Amino acid sequence: MLSYITWFFILIGFVTVTSYLVPVLLAAFKWGEQDLKAKYNAKWALVSGSSSGIGRAVAKKLAKQGLNVVLVALDDDALKGTYESLKKEFPNQQFRAVGCNLGKSDHEYDYMPIIKEATKDIDVQILVNNAGYIQLSAFFRSTLQKQLTNLECNMMSHVKITHHFLSNMVEKGLKGCITFTSSQSAFFPAPSCSSYGGGKAFLASFAASLAIECYTYGIDVLCLMSGPIQTNFYDNQPKLSFFKFFHAISDTPDSAADIMLNGVGRITWRDSSLFTIFSRLVVKIVDMNLLVQGIARGQSLSSDFKNHPELR
């Protein structure tokens, strides 16, 4: 016969797993596609990191809903190509390409005046904070400036952009939504990309608190915990064996974009893949102290750790 203590722990486990899985399953299977243009009576959306990957997929899906889209990304051929492609595919929609470096902000350069100037005559009600990249090396083996640049793009640019457009929405009494693209590394240890993981963890916490603040104003907030995606995200990184594993289990940008757009207003944190869901369940079952010690002791067995000194 099971003791009261055993039943207590069984109940805790049941509530922990069920309270996580039920919203995820509802978001995945019960709730269908939603029209954000109609939902928020919106005309304009802004997508950062929109020249490729998830950002480009989101921009295209928003345009398909009849929204005009501001494309914010590095001022390069990828942005120009995306801009021209979307204009050609959606001739009835308006697009604005805003080229700027979201990783750079100092006394000589500030991307916010560029974004504000490009959007001063429109109301952005759908804000997709998606820009980001990975800095792959042991923290102390890259310069501090490289780490700060990574955090500026992955974290601080989203804070600055959100503050501007959220303030405008509240001031004008407009409904809308704000999304952030985070990662599995927001809640699972990410050695060799600690600034990346730390920045993504900030986005998740920031989004959860912001969702509560914005509820009264009819502004929805969602943080997408992305798993591996079939993009050029790792193209400029060392050729590591675990990237091959990530590629084998990766989702498409389209599927991640669908999860984001169909989840906003229905769920606050949304894990986007089976890999991310599995990782989330692991950290619910295994305490972080034990997980960190296990990974720290096991990483020396990895061929990537042995063959790439920049990771250690």
Output the pLDDT for position 99.
97
| Alpha-carbon Rg for the chain in angstroms | 20
Q: What percent of the chain has pLDDT over 70?
A: 88
For residue 247, what pLDDT band results from cuts at 50, 70 and 90?
low
- Whether the predicted pLDDT of 234 surpasses 70: no
Residue pLDDT, tens place only, 103-121: 998 878 999 999 999 999 9
- Whether the predicted pLDDT of 311 surpasses 70: no
Among the ranges given (2-6, 21-25, 163-167, 210-214), the one the predictor scored with the smallest mean pLDDT:
2-6
Count other C-beta atoms under 10 Å from residue 129's C-beta.
29
Output the pLDDT for position 303.
62
For residue 13, what pLDDT band results from cuts at 50, 70 and 90?
confident
Output the pLDDT for position 84.
97
- Whether the predicted pLDDT of 26 surpasses 60: yes
Please, what is the end-to-end C-alpha distance for the chain in angstroms?
50
Output the pLDDT for position 238.
56
Tokens of 297: 């002791």
Among the ranges given (17-26, 139-148, 281-290), the one the predictor scored with the smallest mean pLDDT:
17-26
Across 232-252, average pLDDT: 57
- CB distance 218 to 211 below 8 Å: no
Residue 260 C-alpha from the chain's centroid: 9
Q: Angle of helix 194-215 relative to helix 157-172, nearest 10 degrees?
A: 10
Residue type, 11: L
Residue pLDDT, tens place only, 51-83: 999 999 999 999 999 999 999 999 999 999 999
Output the pLDDT for position 307.
59
- Whether the predicted pLDDT of 233 surpasses 70: no
- Whether the predicted pLDDT of 85 surpasses 90: yes
| Mean per-residue pLDDT of the chain | 88
